[in-house]
Amino acid sequence: MKLYWCPKTRALRAAWMLEELGVPYERVLIDIRDPVAKADPAFRAVSPMGKVPALEDGAVRLWDSGAICIYLADRYPAAGLAPAISDPARGAYLQWVLYTNAVIEPAMAEKFSNATVSAGAHGWGSYEAMLDVLRQGVAAGPWVLGERFSAADVLLGTSCRFLIMFGLVKDDPVLAAYLARCEARPAFQRAVATDSL
């Protein structure tokens, strides 16, 4: 597998996921701030919008952090990072594994841009609703599915990291404690240790 990545980006999600799985992969650095690097044809064949992370696994090509985490969890079921399709926990898993890119990300964009939103019409509701539901989801812990760590935590954990790092969330004991649990995982630490040029 080839992971197209760039430090200090959403590619951290895919790197953490791969470290959790402990499977071999090759990293291909794409400096997304460099238009020449971004135009690399091999990269654009995997990531048509020129975004990282992107993953190539044989004939499979994916270029969204959520899709990559879902794909990898299902591709390596022995690691237990996704409940099986027949498992009742699959419902909650799907809900949360999609929450980052379907709800948190657009809500963060709303906040950053001071956009006026219609909570009923916009799919993510509102920034405040997004945070309330996220807090409810991770409060009991240790993970969003309870005792079971999953790919959903890779996405939610990195989202909490970005929310806190960008200063959108301050003095939030629930989210801070959840992030601390994520940061204590050796796979997370390996991914962060290599998240530089």
Residues 82-101 as x/- pattern, contact with ligand GSH by CB under 6 A: -------------------x
Closer to ligand GSH at the Cβ: 82 or 174? 82
- Structure token digits, residue 138: 């991770």
Q: Longest Cα pair distance anywhere in the chain, in angstroms?
A: 47
Closer to ligand GSH at the Cβ: 66 or 125? 66
Spatial separation of the C-alpha atoms in residues 154 and 132, rounded to whole Å: 19
Residues 39-78 as x/- pattern, contact with ligand GSH by CB under 6 A: -----------xxxx----------xxx------------
Q: What letter does residue 58 receive in the DSSP assignment?
A: T
Q: Does 161 bind ligand GSH (CB under 6 A)?
A: no
Closer to ligand GSH at the Cβ: 144 or 174? 144
What angle is formed at CA 154 by the lines to CA 148 and CA 158, rounded to 5 degrees?
135
Closer to ligand GSH at the Cβ: 53 or 137? 53
Q: Which of 187, 111, 110, 122 is nearest to 149 (CA)?
A: 187
Classified as helix, coil or strand, 156 is helix
Q: What letter does residue 145 receive in the DSSP assignment?
A: B
Q: Does 158 bind ligand GSH (CB under 6 A)?
A: no
Judge whether 71 and 59 are in contact, CB under 8 Å. no
Residues 5-34 as x/- pattern, contact with ligand GSH by CB under 6 A: ----xx---------------------x--
Q: How many Cα atoms occupy the beta-carbon half-sphere of 131 within 13 Å?
A: 15
What is the closest distance, in whole angstroms, from the C-beta atom of residue 70 to ligand GSH in the complex? Answer: 12
Size of the site for ligand GSH (CB under 6 A): 11
- Which residues in this chain contact ligand GSH in the complex, by CB under 6 A? 9-10, 32, 50-53, 64-66, 101
